[in-house]
């Protein structure tokens, strides 16, 4: 049996090697390392795939979030609501830009914030909401967009973990995660479902004005060369990364389907086991299983993790500590017990190895090991 990894980038590279090497080689030959033609081609192909009017590539998913906030023209002190149970990038950019960060607990049944939780956190200063589609499944976008329309809020979807996830509206229509809010953001960090071989990110929007603003801000605030209409940053996707992503985008659906099959195998084995809660499924969203995340109840999570590690099975805790208790975010003034759901999830979640190349014998071994632990 191959050594089990959380994400097996080596196995994937082996399969795609001829195509990836050719794509990278042609950029090397061209020497168009910055703003080469592959960047625009990739933006167009991703646009088709996502069914969105504009894709703007940038340097990473954190920059994408920062660019999204910069494009909204908010004032210092304006309030932005997001979840306390996410990767730090979703909240960091809010604090960095001097907006007031308002954290809310996710719904324990979905890991994502609900429209109701956002509603409770509204004040007259609320200007934007950042729903995060955590682990590959969408937050309740229909509810959140309705609330946003009522209260004139911007919605920025952090879709870094949900590239390819479908959202199902109650009228029967479907949209890709990240294309529903005013702006969507994503990351091409190597371990993401659509990952490159370094850093990369992108923004989605259907709004022509926001698209022009985002493009300008990502390029030093420049619309016409050496004329600066906005204060911007330098955030570009490298041509080599765009070339890699063009290859990988063609396989994204098949990769996500393979993750789905691995998740189905896990679900079947773990459903009904006392002490395990399998990943929640929402009727409004498909799930691309960026992570396959169990909740281990009864205080046994850490001993299960150690048990699996002894058997050479990696397992990860996403995320181990509530953000409001991190040293850098103490200034927000939240009390330790302010977010009971986040605190509970942080003590219960355990993500198992999940990637498109997880082999049957590996999955069987992981399943047997987890079940063995619970039989003791």
Provide the binding-site residues for ligand PLP, judged by CB under 6 A.
60-62, 86-87, 89-90, 132, 158, 160-161, 187, 189, 199, 201
Q: Work out how close the CB of 151 gets to ligand PLP at its nearest, in angstroms, rounded to a whole number.
A: 24
Measured from the CB atom, is 87 or 167 closer to ligand PLP?
87
Q: Work out how close the CB of 160 gets to ligand PLP at its nearest, in angstroms, rounded to a whole number.
A: 3
* Three-state secondary structure call for residue 280: coil
How many alpha carbons lie under 13 Å from residue 171 in its C-beta half-sphere?
3
* Three-state secondary structure call for residue 259: helix
**Scanning the structure block, which residue is given the tokens 């393979």?**
258
Q: What are the percentages of helix, strand and coil residues in the chain, rounded to 5?
A: 45, 15, 40
Question: Which DSSP category does 285 fall into?
Answer: B
Residue nearest to ligand PLP (CB): 61
Measured from the CB atom, is 276 or 354 closer to ligand PLP?
354
Give the tokens for residue 157.
């979807």
Residue 213: CB atoms within 10 Å: 24
CA atoms of 94 and 115, how far apart (whole Å): 20
Q: In the chain, which ranges are continuous DSSP H helix?
A: 9-30, 37-50, 61-71, 89-96, 115-121, 141-151, 208-217, 239-249, 252-270, 301-310, 340-348, 360-375
Q: Work out how close the CB of 349 gets to ligand PLP at its nearest, in angstroms, rounded to a whole number.
A: 14
Measured from the CB atom, is 69 or 269 closer to ligand PLP?
69
Q: Work out how close the CB of 199 gets to ligand PLP at its nearest, in angstroms, rounded to a whole number.
A: 6
Measured from the CB atom, is 57 or 269 closer to ligand PLP?
57
Tell me the Ramachandran region of residue 51: left when phi exceeds 0, alpha when psi lies from -120 to 50, beta otherwise: left
Q: Work out how close the CB of 268 gets to ligand PLP at its nearest, in angstroms, rounded to a whole number.
A: 27
Measured from the CB atom, is 187 or 293 closer to ligand PLP?
187
Q: Work out how close the CB of 335 gets to ligand PLP at its nearest, in angstroms, rounded to a whole number.
A: 25
Q: Work out how close the CB of 161 gets to ligand PLP at its nearest, in angstroms, rounded to a whole number.
A: 5
Measured from the CB atom, is 84 or 161 closer to ligand PLP?
161
**Residue 109 backbone dihedrals phi, psi, to 5 degrees:** -80, -10
Measured from the CB atom, is 62 or 165 closer to ligand PLP?
62
């Amino acid at each position: 049996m191959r050594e089990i990894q959380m994400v097996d980038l080596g196995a994937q590279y082996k399969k795609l090697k001829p195509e990836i090497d050719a794509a990278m080689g042609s950029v090397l030959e061209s020497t168009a390392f910055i703003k080469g033609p592959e960047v625009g081609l990739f933006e167009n192909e991703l646009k088709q795939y996502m069914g969105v009017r504009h894709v703007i590539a940038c340097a990473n998913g954190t920059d994408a979030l920062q660019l999204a906030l910069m494009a909204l023209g908010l004032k210092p002190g304006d309030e932005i609501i997001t979840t306390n149970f996410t990767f730090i990038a979703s909240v960091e950019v809010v604090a960095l830009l001097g907006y007031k960060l308002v954290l809310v607990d996710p719904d324990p049944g979905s890991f994502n914030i609900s429209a109701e939780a956002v509603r409770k956190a509204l004040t007259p200063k609320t200007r934007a909401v950042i729903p995060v589609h955590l682990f590959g499944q969408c937050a309740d976008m229909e509810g959140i967009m309705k609330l946003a329309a009522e209260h004139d809020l911007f919605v920025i979807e952090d879709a870094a973990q949900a590239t390819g996830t479908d959202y199902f509206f109650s009228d029967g229509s479907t949209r890709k995660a990240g294309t529903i809010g005013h702006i969507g953001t994503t990351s091409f960090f190597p371990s993401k479902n659509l990952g490159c071989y370094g850093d990369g990110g992108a923004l989605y929007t259907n709004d022509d004005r926001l698209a022009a603003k985002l493009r300008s801000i990502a390029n030093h605030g420049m619309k016409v060369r050496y004329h600066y209409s906005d204060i911007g940053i330098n955030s570009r996707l490298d041509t080599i990364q765009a070339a890699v992503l063009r290859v990988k985008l063609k396989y994204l659906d098949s990769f996500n389907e393979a993750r789905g099959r691995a998740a189905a195998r896990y679900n079947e084995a773990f459903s009904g086991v006392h002490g395990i809660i399998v990943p929640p499924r929402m009727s409004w969203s498909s799930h691309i299983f960026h992570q396959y995340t169990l909740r281990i109840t009864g205080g046994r999570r850490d001993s299960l993790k150690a048990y699996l590690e002894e058997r050479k099975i990696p397992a990860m805790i996403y995320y181990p500590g509530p953000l409001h208790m991190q040293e850098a975010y103490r200034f927000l003034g939240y009390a330790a017990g302010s977010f009971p759901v986040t605190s509970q999830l942080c003590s219960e979640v355990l993500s198992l190895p999940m990637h498109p190349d997880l082999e049957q014998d590996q999955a069987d071994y992981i399943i047997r090991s987890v079940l063995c632990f619970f039989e003791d």
